[in-house]
Amino acid sequence: MIKVINLENQENASYYAAIQIIKQLKTQSNSVLGLATGGTMIELYKSLNHLIHVNCIDLSDVKTFNLDEYININSNHEQSYKTYMYNNFIKQNKTFNEENFFIPNGNADDLQTEIERYEKLIKHYGYIDLQILGIGENGHIGFNEPGTAFTSKTHIVNLEASTIEANSRYFNTSEEVPNQAITMGISTILKAKKIILLAFGESKKYALRKLLDGNIEESLPASILNKHSNVEILVDNQALGI
């Protein structure tokens, strides 16, 4: 079941999402969190880091699994998702154990082995307790582009031209923008016990409207969330078009 909550702006919605994560961590100190990157999440990590600090949350038993990582980007590159996580979350939280930070390795010699390893690792920890998601302008979740099978597990994707274009805002030149990634699959994401999706700004209006119209189709990957029992979608006015 999907519950949509309009918090009017990104700041309020990010704070609300961070509170949900804190509640999860207070209930279960060894939670497995599914984390996302991208512009949408910047404010969320700010709020989360603040709330972890003021509530003295001990993260030493928390495990985190990132949704995705680019292929063939140096892990020290400022736009790799690994670097993003260090800058926005890991460095700020001294109690977090880096050994519990998991992200696909887009530089693995054998990518097939890597995707299988990642999927097994998530299974080993009992899948995700609380999954945070953004949404692409084309309705992707993780980097599961339109047409991805709802049954997919962690896999390699060729990014759509529109995704490469959307991501190019984070890179200096368009040649630098990766065109492949490893992503958690849709079936992997759906195994999460609870999912919170954040969608902000006018550019997400189309995907959000399609998601909420209730038709479940692989051409809009996020539409499968209509089948999940516990999903909250946090939005601002622009994403709702009001």
Pick one of 63, 82, 140, 155: the residue that binds ligand F6R (CB under 6 A): 140
Respond yes or no: is residue 140 known to be catalytic.
yes
Could you give the CA distance from residue 167 to residue 169 in angstroms, rounded to a whole number?
Answer: 5
Q: Does 185 bind ligand F6R (CB under 6 A)?
A: no
Respond yes or no: is residue 145 known to be catalytic.
yes
Contact 197, 134 (CB under 8 A): yes
Q: Shortest Cβ distance from residue 199 to ligand F6R (Å)? A: 9
Candidates 22-30, 55-63, 138-146, 225-233: pick the segment binding ligand F6R (CB under 6 A): 138-146
Q: Shortest Cβ distance from residue 143 to ligand F6R (Å)? A: 6
Q: What character string, x for contact with ligand F6R (CB under 6 A) and - otherwise, covers 20-59? A: ----------------xxxxx-------------------
Could you give the CA distance from residue 2 to residue 126 in angstroms, rounded to a whole number?
Answer: 23
Contact 100, 135 (CB under 8 A): no
Respond yes or no: is residue 77 known to be catalytic.
no
Question: What ranges in the chain are assigned the alpha helix state H?
Answer: 10-27, 42-54, 81-85, 111-124, 161-167, 186-190, 205-212, 237-240
Q: Shortest Cβ distance from residue 106 to ligand F6R (Å)? A: 12
Could you give the CA distance from residue 13 to residue 59 in angstroms, rounded to a whole number?
Answer: 23
Element holding 132 (H helix, E strand): strand 130-133
Respond yes or no: is residue 68 known to be catalytic.
yes
User: Of the two residues 36 and 231, which places its CB atom closer to ligand F6R in the complex?
Assistant: 36
Residue count of the chain, please give it. 242
Q: Does 136 bind ligand F6R (CB under 6 A)?
A: yes
Q: Render the burial of 177-200: b for 16+ CB within 10 Å, e for the rest.
A: bbebbbbbbbbbbbbbbbbbbbbb
Question: Which position has the token pair 């892990």?
Answer: 75
Q: Does 220 bind ligand F6R (CB under 6 A)?
A: no
Half-sphere exposure in the Cβ direction for 137 (13 Å, CA): 13
Q: Shortest Cβ distance from residue 70 to ligand F6R (Å)? A: 10
Q: Does 236 bind ligand F6R (CB under 6 A)?
A: no
Q: Shortest Cβ distance from residue 229 to ligand F6R (Å)? A: 22
The structure tokens listed for 153 are: 């597990």
**Number of residues lying near ligand F6R (CB under 6 A):** 13
Q: Does 146 bind ligand F6R (CB under 6 A)?
A: no
Question: Known catalytic residues?
Answer: 68, 138, 140, 145
Task: Give the footprint of ligand F6R on this chain (CB under 6 A).
Answer: 36-40, 67-68, 134, 136, 140-143
